[in-house]
Structure 1
Amino acid sequence: MTEQERLQWDELPHQLTDWAETQLGARIINADSQKGGFSRGAALRVVGENGQRAFLKAVDAAVYGQTARLYLAEARHLQLLPVNVPVAHHLATFTECNWVGLLLADIEGRHPDFAADTEDLVKVFHAFDEVSAIDASHFDIEQLRPSLEGEVRLWSKISELLSNNSITDASYSHVKSSAVRRQLLRYVTQLEISAHRYAEYVDGFLIPNLDGEQIVHTDVRADNILVTDTQAVIVDWAWMCRGNAAVDSALIVVDAVCAGTSLSVPDMVRQSRLLSAQPPHFVDALIVSMAGFYLYAALQEGEVGTTSNLPLVRAQRAVALLDWVDLHREEIGLAV
Structure 2
Amino acid sequence: MSPRAVGVRAGFAEMPAALRAWVVEVLGSPIVETREMTGGMSPGCATRVRCADGRRAFVKAVGTPLNPDTPTMFRREAAVLGLLGQHPLWAALQASYDDDEWVGLVLEDVEGAHPDLAEEATIGALLAATDSLGAVLAERVPSPDAAAHGFNDFRVAATNWAASFDDVRRLDEVPVPDWVRDDLDGWQAKVAGLAAYDVECLQHWDIRNDNLVQRPDGSIVFVDWGQAMVGPVWLDPLLARLERAEDPWFDGSLASSSALAAAGDDTVTTWLVGFGTMLAVRTVTAADINLPTLAAFRRSESTRMLTAAARRLDLGAHLPEQ
Q: Secondary structure at the match of 2:98?
A: strand
| 1:252 and 2:252 correspond | no
Q: Is the 8 A contact 1:88 1:107 kept in 2?
A: yes
Q: Secondary structure at the match of 1:84?
A: coil
Q: 1:299 to 1:215 in 2, by over 3 A?
A: same
Measure the CA separation in 2 of the matches of 1:310 and 1:118. Answer: 29
Measure the CA separation in 2 of the matches of 1:266 and 1:280. Answer: 9
Q: CA deviation at 1:314?
A: 0.8
Q: Is the 8 A contact 1:294 1:318 kept in 2?
A: yes
Q: Could you tell me which residue of structure 2 aligns to residue 212 of structure 1?
A: 199
Q: Could you tell me which residue of structure 2 aligns to residue 287 of structure 1?
A: 272
Q: Is the 8 A contact 2:12 2:47 kept in 1?
A: yes
Q: Could you tell me which residue of structure 2 aligns to residue 7 of structure 1?
A: 10
Q: Is the 8 A contact 2:154 2:199 kept in 1?
A: no
Q: Could you tell me which residue of structure 2 aligns to residue 227 of structure 1?
A: 214
Q: Could you tell me which residue of structure 1 aligns to residue 159 of structure 2?
A: 150
Q: CA deviation at 1:88?
A: 1.3
| 1:299 and 2:284 correspond | yes
TM-score normalised to structure 1 length:
0.80
CA offsets 1:4-36 (integer angstroms, 9 cap, x no match):
x31112212222222212222221122111111
**Counterpart amino acid of 2:90?**
V
Q: Is the 8 A contact 1:85 1:131 kept in 2?
A: no
Q: Is the 8 A contact 1:127 1:232 kept in 2?
A: yes
How many pairs does the alignment contain? 303
TM-score normalised to structure 2 length:
0.83
Q: Is the 8 A contact 2:202 2:230 kept in 1?
A: yes
Q: Could you tell me which residue of structure 2 aligns to residue 196 of structure 1?
A: 185
CA offsets 1:21-62 (integer angstroms, 9 cap, x no match):
222222112211111111101111111122211111112335
Q: Secondary structure at the match of 1:65?
A: coil
Measure the CA separation in 2 of the matches of 1:40 and 1:76. Answer: 21
Measure the CA separation in 2 of the matches of 1:215 and 1:317. Answer: 24
Q: Is the 8 A contact 1:61 1:67 kept in 2?
A: yes
| 1:84 and 2:68 correspond | no
**Counterpart amino acid of 2:146?**
I
Residue ranges of structure 1 left out of the alignment (5+ in a row):
172-183, 332-336
Measure the CA separation in 1 of the matches of 2:298 and 2:40. Answer: 12
Q: Secondary structure at the match of 2:254?
A: helix
Q: Considering only aligned residues, what root-mean-square deviation do their CA atoms show, in Å?
A: 2.6
Q: Could you tell me which residue of structure 2 aligns to residue 315 of structure 1?
A: 299
Which of 63, 73, 76 aligns to 2:76? It is: 73
Q: Could you tell me which residue of structure 2 aligns to residue 326 of structure 1?
A: 310
Q: Could you tell me which residue of structure 1 aligns to residue 320 of structure 2?
A: none
Q: Is the 8 A contact 1:88 1:233 kept in 2?
A: yes
Residue ranges of structure 2 left out of the alignment (5+ in a row):
316-322
Q: 1:232 to 1:273 in 2, by over 3 A?
A: farther
Q: Secondary structure at the match of 1:79?
A: helix
Q: Secondary structure at the match of 1:239?
A: coil
Q: CA deviation at 1:151?
A: 4.1
Q: Is the 8 A contact 2:11 2:36 kept in 1?
A: yes
Q: Could you tell me which residue of structure 2 aligns to residue 272 of structure 1?
A: 257
Q: Is the 8 A contact 1:154 1:292 kept in 2?
A: no
CA offsets 1:174-206 (integer angstroms, 9 cap, x no match):
xxxxxxxxxx47x2x5542133332233345x4
Q: Secondary structure at the match of 2:84?
A: coil
Measure the CA separation in 2 of the matches of 1:10 and 1:330. Answer: 52
Q: Give the percent of matched residue pairs that are identical in Structure 1 and Structure 2.
A: 24
Q: 1:167 to 1:139 in 2, by over 3 A?
A: same
Q: Could you tell me which residue of structure 2 aligns to residue 129 of structure 1?
A: 131
Q: 1:191 to 1:308 in 2, by over 3 A?
A: same
